[in-house]
Chains A and B, each alone.
Chain A
Amino acid sequence: MTKLGDKDALDADIRVAAMFARKLTLEGHAITDAEFAELLRIFGPEKVTAIVHTVAYANFHNRVVLGLGAAGGAVPPVDAKFAPEKLAKLSTPARPPWDDLKSAKPGGLSVRVDWSKAGPNELNLALEKQKGRKLRIPLPDASRIKDLPTNERAQAERVVWTNVSSGYQPEMPRRWFAALYTYYDEAKVDRVFTNSVFWVVTRTNDCFY
């Protein structure tokens, strides 16, 4: 772990992966084709997909921890086993009806955003340009997609994100989307509300998504 803070002490392949993880965390939009090609040359598409999803997960996890204000140092993993039949009986705390938020009193959070200068027209042009973007990683062989379960296969055939992720590392997106579907089931959010939040995240990260 100490070595990770000193890039000169790392083996060459680990150094490339660590630098990539740092840049993907801090300014993923600025990663160059050459930087990605170097990672791909060293690790190949399966491992690169695993690296990308692991870094993405760390970005998710850190924000949950910091958002909740969880305090304390690292602790060893808990040796716990979960029985599916017991988990199925757990009830989710009820949320107030989403419409209640319409009567929220003044207060809450405000920010002054510090975004790149692009206006709506520039953003639209960037999205159009992204449609013609060359993928940095070869698409997985069609046989990998064909072997996926029906729902995953259908999504992989429509969505490039899923095609690459499920084609090279099927277990990682499978768990990830299982968590999302559980979230939707339990939180019962207003999808226009949450997808507006998603838009703000993409804009803040300068991501075309």
Chain B
Amino acid sequence: MGHSEMLLAVAGLKPGEVKALKERLAVGDWSDFPTAQRTAFALAYKLSKDPAGFTAKDRAALIEVFGPERSIDLIWYVSWCNYMTRVADAFQLPLERENCFMPPEKKDRKKNDGGV
């Protein structure tokens, strides 16, 4: 798992759910996702790939779905993600073999649950 996948597990998804979500996201066609997710993924793509190409029309479409406060939240978060990837790419950090974000008590519970 990469860190974004580890964090999906920490957020509550089971391993099979993380795998299924990743496979859906990896298609790159998010038309079968609900409007909010499709819009947020498109924002993530546009603001990461070509931030100067993010237009007033794009912004208006974002706000139409999320409202002003949550639109700012998402813009901030996508920007935050771009910070994190710059640091990871620069150092070429080796990935941890275990989920390094999972709190110890959850790890123990997982063991008791047979790894689910």
Interface residues, chain A, with chain B CB atoms under 8 Å away: 24-25, 28-29, 31, 33, 36, 52-53, 55-57, 59-64, 66-69, 93-96, 101-102, 104-111, 113-115, 119-120, 123, 127, 130-137, 158-161, 164-165, 176, 179-180, 183, 187, 189, 191-205, 207-209
Find residues 41-82 in chain B having any chain A CB closer than 8 Å to their own CB.
Answer: 41-49, 51-52, 54, 56, 58-59, 61-62, 64-67, 69-70, 72-82
B3 within 8 A of A: yes
Complex CA distance for A136 and B88, rounded to whole angstroms:
11
Interface residues, chain B, with chain A CB atoms under 8 Å away: 1-5, 7-8, 10-13, 21-23, 25-26, 28-31, 34-49, 51-52, 54, 56, 58-59, 61-62, 64-67, 69-70, 72-97, 100-101
Q: Are B8 and A196 in contact (CB under 8 A)?
A: yes
A168 → B minimal CB distance (Å): 10
Complex CA distance for A51 and B84, rounded to whole angstroms:
14
Out of A108, A137, A187, A195, which one reaches B38, CB within 8 Å?
Answer: A108
The 8 closest A-B pairs by CB, nearest first: A28-B89, A108-B39, A67-B75, A191-B11, A109-B42, A113-B28, A56-B86, A63-B79
Q: Are A93 and B69 in contact (CB under 8 A)?
A: yes
- Majority-rule SS of A interface residues: helix
Besides A123-B22, A196-B21, 12 more A-B contacts (Cβ < 8 Å) are: A53-B87, A63-B78, A107-B61, A109-B65, A115-B28, A130-B95, A131-B94, A160-B93, A187-B73, A187-B77, A199-B4, A208-B2
